[in-house]
Amino acid sequence: MTDRTLVLVKPDGVARGLVGEVVSRLEAKGLRLVAAELRTLPREVAEEHYGEHREKPFFGSLVEFITGGPLLALVVEGPRAVEAFRALAGATDPVKAAPGTIRGDFALEVQSNIVHGSDSAESAAREIGLFFPDLAA
């Protein structure tokens, strides 16, 4: 099967009207939309999604942020989709993200960095199962 990844336009990106910009960039790259849904995450889903960061000092703030308003959850597919979208997103810290990337062009703060993309094939499978159980591999 073609590679798939979970992309989120985080609540800051939705609030700033950047949904079209993000979708336009990933479609222009050649990635294909498989699923899309605007939703506000329950706390339990947010904690599960970011479970790897549970012990980090920013975890509480991250959960507040990601549950703070509607986000757009997407499943996209294409050759090396995980790596391809991470390249479009840019570095986690938007000040270090290269201009031309989504974070590099539209954000300044590490938490409010517009988008999420799964960081490995294993994470993608786990996250797609969490957000879109019907698409679980």
49 is catalytic: no
**Of 40-69, which residues contact ligand RTP (CB under 6 A)?**
58, 62
**Of 102-121, which residues contact ligand RTP (CB under 6 A)?**
110-111, 113, 116-117, 119
Taking the least distance from each CB to Mg ion, the nearer of 5 and 23 is: 5
Choose among 42, 45, 35, 110: nearest CA to 77: 35
The residues that bridge with 4 in the sheet, in sequence order, are 77
Q: Does 11 bind ligand RTP (CB under 6 A)?
A: no
Which ranges in the chain belong to alpha helices (H)? 11-15, 19-29, 43-49, 59-66, 81-89, 102-106, 121-131
Q: How far is the CB of 118 from Mg ion (least distance, A)?
A: 8
Q: Which residues bind Mg ion (CB under 5 A)?
A: 119
Give the three-state DSSP class for 38: strand
Work out the angle at residue 14's Cα, subtended by the Cα atoms of residues 11 and 18, and round it to the nearest 5 degrees: 135
* Interface residue with ligand RTP, options 32, 60, 79, 92 (CB under 6 A): 92
Taking the least distance from each CB to ligand RTP, the nearer of 110 and 125 is: 110
25 marked as part of a ligand binding site: no
58 marked as part of a ligand binding site: yes
75 and 34 in contact (C-beta within 8 Å)? yes
Choose among 63, 64, 62, 1: nearest CA to 32: 1
Residues with catalytic roles:
116
- What residues line the site for ligand RTP (CB under 6 A)? 58, 62, 92, 110-111, 113, 116-117, 119
Residues contributing to the annotated binding site for ATP: 10, 58, 86, 92, 103, 113
